Chain A
Amino acid sequence: MSFTARLSTLTLSMALSLGLTAPAQSTESLFGFVKGAETLPQGAMELYQIIKRRSDKGQGDYTAYNLSTELEYGVSNRFSAGAAIKMQSLETSGLIIDGYLPKAVDSGLKFSGLEGSMKYMFLSPALDDIGLAGYMSFNYDWVDPHSGQDKDTYSLETELLAQKYFLEGELIWAANAGVEATYADRAEISDLPEDFEWPTDPEMEIELKLGSGLSYRFAPNWFIGLETFYETEFETEVGQERWSWFAGPSIHYGAADWWATLTWFNQLSGGGEQYESQLDDDLHLIEKTKNEVKLVVAFNF
């Protein structure tokens, strides 16, 4: 049996066994991209399966799937820690972006990175006037999420997360502000197009992130929301290199022992670098796409 087949069998068995026997534990995210400020209670565990689809760079075909399987554990009632393994598939053709997208790719799904994260809740949204938490994650990726080429990327992200309940918890607001520092080192590609720029010197970037979301429980177990995220990257040589602003609706279902959130994100505007002959000049489409759809399914135990 191949590794892929064994992984599939293992994952299927795990998913089905969890579905049949999951005991009652849970804390959950009402949003796909914006994080809440609550942590798992001590001793609780949560298994997340995240699937994100990124598509449409304005020209040619571009569709990427990013999958992340994460396990989070409540170390204390205020501190939780998690670890994730990431996978990616990319299918792109009809679009070459100098310096970023060197050739058509049909990579299939493959392991692409690892992530470790931790979260500390300073103030509880349900107990204090406003909830406040600090979040930190460390990522190591060996596949470039944009081009699908080999690229070692190390990133450290820190975020401040705020959350507030209104209407006894039927209306929830959350906001995030964060900074991500990235060190990336591309592998050489032997069959590049002529005069194609593909720097292999290590590069560093700083990214700022601001996000906010509002979610309302319109029926028992069901929440509908709207969320938005602004991201901008800075580099030593060019200053602000690029920025993008996404927004879209979320729908969330929460039961006692599992929950799911589906978010559709559309790029409303963007700027900075653009690729040659880019038609949508009010969007950032070199590293981002026009659309992102994210599904998060979690089991609590």
Chain B
Amino acid sequence: MNFNGLNSLWLYPIAALSVPAYAVNYFSVTDAQQALFPEAQKFIESPLSLSDEDKDRIKELAGVRQRQDQQPVWRVEAGGELIGWFIVDDVVGKHEYITYAVALSPQGKVLGMEIMSYRETHGDEVRQASWRQQFKGKDVQASFKLGDDIANISGATLSCRNLTDGMKRLLVIHNEYLSKSS
């Protein structure tokens, strides 16, 4: 069989494999802590262990499943007083997990959010302040409908939806577990 014309086309997969991995980490945990709580003097690591019953309750209240058994949480203090909570979370992106950090006030309002790693093709706009600021001031009672309350980003709808649902879930976690330990 004559494969003269086929030869170079078989190289497409090889060329594809030469594409460098597109894993971008924008913030370490320490960087995100400093960005979200610049006035903080102390970050006390306070991971939250969640039983199956806890996870079921979070799913019932947030409408989305809690995948992790242990949620990374830091109690944030300044002058010996609680000034908020710093939480790191992962949600499902189209290819990989999206890691983000959230700052909550002691009363459970969103103070800020930073995308720590985002490896998806589209939707890098989720890192922009204009998109992240849509969550600022929201609490567990707020509406979180993507497309209405939170703007969608075309080509990254799944990432936007999962980040939005993730924020709602973290506010439920605060309301159910962290606010009671304040």
Contact = CB atoms under 8 A, between A and B. Distances in A.
Given A41-B154, A91-B1, A168-B65, A11 B122 contact: no
Counting chain B CB atoms within 10 Å of each CB, the highest count among A8, A106, A169, A221 belongs to A169
A42 interface: yes
A25 B97 contact: no
A247 interface: no
B22 A255 contact: yes
B120 A256 contact: yes
Interface string A14-51: 01101110101111000000000000111010000101
Interface in B101-151: 119-122, 124, 146-147
Interface stretch (A94-102, A224-232, A277-285, A292-300): A292-300
Given A41-B122, A89-B3, A127-B146, A165 B9 contact: no
Given A67-B9, A221-B96, A299 B16 contact: yes
Interface in B1-23: 1-19, 21-22
A89 B95 contact: no
Contacts of B2: 89, 106, 108-109
Counting chain A CB atoms within 10 Å of each CB, the highest count among B19, B147, B161 belongs to B19
- Per DSSP, chain B at the interface is loop
B157 interface: yes
Contact of A12 (B3, B8, B65): B8
B8 A256 contact: no
B14 to A, nearest CB: 8
Nearest to A25: B121
A26 B4 contact: no
B18 to A, nearest CB: 4
Contact of B147 (A5, A25, A65, A127): A127
B13 A8 contact: no
Interface string A246-290: 000000001111101000000000000000000000000000000
Contacts of B120: 256
B65 A19 contact: no
A67 B10 CA distance: 10
Counting chain A CB atoms within 10 Å of each CB, the highest count among B91, B120, B154 belongs to B154
A200 interface: no
A258 B19 contact: yes
Contact of B13 (A63, A87, A254, A260): A260
A22 B92 contact: no
A220 interface: yes
A7 B84 CA distance: 62
Contacts of B14: 15, 19
Chain B interface size, as a band, is 35 or more
Nearest to B7: A8
A250 B157 CA distance: 24
A185 to B, nearest CB: 26
A194 to B, nearest CB: 28
Contact of A15 (B15, B64, B119): B15
Interface string A191-230: 0000000000000000000000000010011000000000
B161 A42 contact: no
A260 B16 contact: yes
B5 A297 contact: no
Contacts of A26: 121-122
Interface in B153-170: 154-155, 157-158, 160-162, 165
A91 to B, nearest CB: 5
Contacts of B124: 24
B5 A8 contact: yes
Contacts of A18: 15
A59 interface: no
Contacts of B17: 19
Interface of A: 4-5, 7-9, 11-12, 15-16, 18-20, 22, 24-27, 40-42, 44, 49, 51, 63, 65, 67, 69, 74, 77, 87, 89, 91, 106, 108-110, 124, 126-127, 165, 167-170, 217, 220-221, 254-258, 260, 295, 297, 299-300
16 contacts: A4-B4, A16-B18, A27-B155, A69-B9, A77-B154, A77-B155, A87-B5, A109-B2, A127-B146, A168-B64, A169-B158, A220-B97, A255-B95, A256-B120, A257-B19, A257-B121
Given A256-B119, A297-B12, A299-B16, 6 more contacts: A24-B124, A77-B155, A108-B2, A109-B4, A220-B95, A254-B94
